[in-house]
């Protein structure tokens, strides 16, 4: 009986996934408009917001923006890095996109695509460069859990070293205007906050539901920091008021927004609760903040 129940559960899950994928491919759900809460329904790509789980791959496949993979030399590692450029030839600020613990997948690269659409040079290094099977990168891991476990093995100093190398590379690009910022989600958000404490030349840091560094690190921050959080995220939200108090006491700039009924990882799971509405509010806030501080 247990085996039969297990098979039924797996079958039901498979059917549910197939239904969701079918919805993502329905006419009118090709990423070119439509409804959905906050413009972020299943398979619905708002032109002004990052792609969701269902539209990230097609968004990347259809982008008309210039993009490339580069391997940045870093000791005995080649830092595999995704770079996407805004339209035109005008100079632009560099935004270092810091991926979440699952790695540099299509969903995270779609964030870079949206940043480039907004006028930034988006640079997104693969933290797992050289750490995969046979010295491979993120895409060499057979399962997402393997990538998550490998990401957890990176020390804070190594993460900083890799992101700093990506920033240094980006600022030397012909179109770079000399200004730089960081943006990340979850673990990437925590890295963005920490990066601001370690790179005083940074002009802005955007933190999507990431944990803050300690107060000693906060004291080194010179860039303004923007924190964007979901209301239904107790562990992270418990840090917001203490962070605001510490940053104020230290004379630092810290702005936070908490979106009602949104969860942790609302940028990834846009169809849960009020996550779509949160993205529709948080993303323009992040873009305005970046533009204001990287002119």
Domain count, the chain: 1
- Check whether 158 has a pLDDT greater than 90: yes
CA angle 41, 43, 48 (to 5 degrees): 70
HEC secondary structure over the chain: CHHHHHHHHHHHHHHHHHHHHHHHCCCCCCCCCCCCHHHCCCCCCCCCCCCCCCCHHHHHHHCCCCEEEEEEEECCEEEEEEEECCCCCCCEEEEEEECCCCCCCHHHHHHHHHHHHCCCEEEEECCCCCCCHHHCCHHHCCCHHHHHHHHHCCCHHHHHHHHHHHHHHHHCCCCEEEEEEEEEECHHHHHHHHHHHHCCCCCEEEEECCCCCCHHHHCCCCCCEEEEEEEECHHHHCCHHHHHHHHHHCCCCEEEEEEEEEECCCCCCCCCCCHHHHHHHHHHHHHHHHHHHCC
- Check whether 5 has a pLDDT greater than 80: no
The answer as to whether 285 is a domain residue is yes
Q: What is the pTM of this model?
A: 0.86
Cα–Cα distance, 85 to 70 (Å, whole number): 13
pLDDT reported for residue 20: 37
pLDDT reported for residue 53: 87
Task: Report the pLDDT averaged over residues 200-204.
Answer: 97
Cα–Cα distance, 106 to 12 (Å, whole number): 26
pLDDT reported for residue 116: 98
By residue range, what is the domain housing residue 173? 46-293
- Backbone CA torsion sign across 276, 281, 284, 287: negative
pLDDT band at 16 (very low <50, low <70, confident <90, very high): very low
pLDDT reported for residue 59: 93
Residues with Cβ within 8 Å of 142's Cβ and at least 6 positions away in sequence, in order, are 133
Looking up residue 285, the CATH number of its domain turns out to be 3.40.50.1820
Cα–Cα distance, 197 to 138 (Å, whole number): 27
The two structure tokens encoding residue 293: 């501080």
Selected residue with higher pLDDT from 200 and 4: 200
- Check whether 211 has a pLDDT greater than 90: yes
The answer as to whether 164 is a domain residue is yes
pLDDT reported for residue 43: 54
pLDDT band at 14 (very low <50, low <70, confident <90, very high): very low
**Which range (14-18, 32-36, 244-248, 277-281) has the least confidence?**
32-36
pLDDT reported for residue 17: 36
The answer as to whether 97 is a domain residue is yes
- Check whether 66 has a pLDDT greater than 80: yes
The answer as to whether 167 is a domain residue is yes
Query: How many CB atoms are located within 10 Å of the residue 87 CB?
Result: 11
The answer as to whether 173 is a domain residue is yes
The phi and psi torsions of 189 (rounded to 5 degrees) equal -65, -40
Task: Report the pLDDT averaged over residues 64-84.
Answer: 97
The answer as to whether 39 is a domain residue is no
- Check whether 155 has a pLDDT greater than 60: yes
- Check whether 34 has a pLDDT greater than 80: no
The answer as to whether 2 is a domain residue is no
The answer as to whether 216 is a domain residue is yes
What are the tens digits of pLDDT across the range 269-293?
998 889 999 999 999 999 999 999 9
Task: Report the pLDDT averaged over residues 55-64.
Answer: 93
């Amino acid at each position: 009986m247990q085996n039969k129940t297990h098979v039924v559960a797996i079958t039901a899950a498979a059917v549910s996934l197939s239904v969701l994928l079918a919805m993502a491919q329905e006419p009118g759900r090709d990423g070119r408009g439509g409804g959905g809460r906050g413009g972020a329904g299943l398979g619905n790509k708002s032109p002004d917001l990052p792609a969701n789980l269902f539209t990230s791959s097609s968004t990347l496949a259809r982008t008309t923006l210039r993009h490339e993979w580069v391997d940045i030399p870093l000791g005995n590692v080649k830092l595999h890095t995704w770079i996407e450029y805004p339209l035109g030839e005008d100079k632009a600020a560099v935004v270092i996109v810091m991926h979440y613990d699952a790695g540099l997948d299509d969903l995270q690269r779609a964030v870079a695509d949206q940043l480039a659409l907004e006028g930034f040079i988006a640079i997104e290094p693969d933290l797992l460069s050289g750490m995969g099977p046979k010295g491979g990168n993120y895409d060499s891991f057979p399962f997402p859990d393997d990538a998550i476990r490998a990401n957890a093995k990176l020390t804070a100093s190594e993460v900083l070293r890799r992101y700093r190398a990506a920033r240094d590379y980006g600022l030397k690009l012909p179109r770079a205007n000399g200004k730089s910022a960081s943006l990340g989600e979850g673990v990437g958000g925590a890295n963005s906050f920490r990066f601001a404490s370690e790179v005083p030349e940074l002009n802005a840091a955007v933190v999507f539901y990431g944990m803050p560094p300690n107060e000693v690190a906060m004291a080194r921050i010179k860039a303004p920091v923007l924190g964007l959080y979901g209301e239904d995220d107790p562990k992270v939200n418990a840090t917001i008021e203490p962070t605001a108090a510490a940053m104020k006491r230290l004379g630092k700039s810290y702005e936070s927004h908490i979106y009602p009924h949104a969860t942790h990882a609302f940028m990834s799971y846009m169809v849960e609760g009020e996550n779509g509405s949160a993205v529709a509010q948080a993303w323009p806030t992040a873009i305005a903040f970046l533009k204001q501080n990287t002119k």
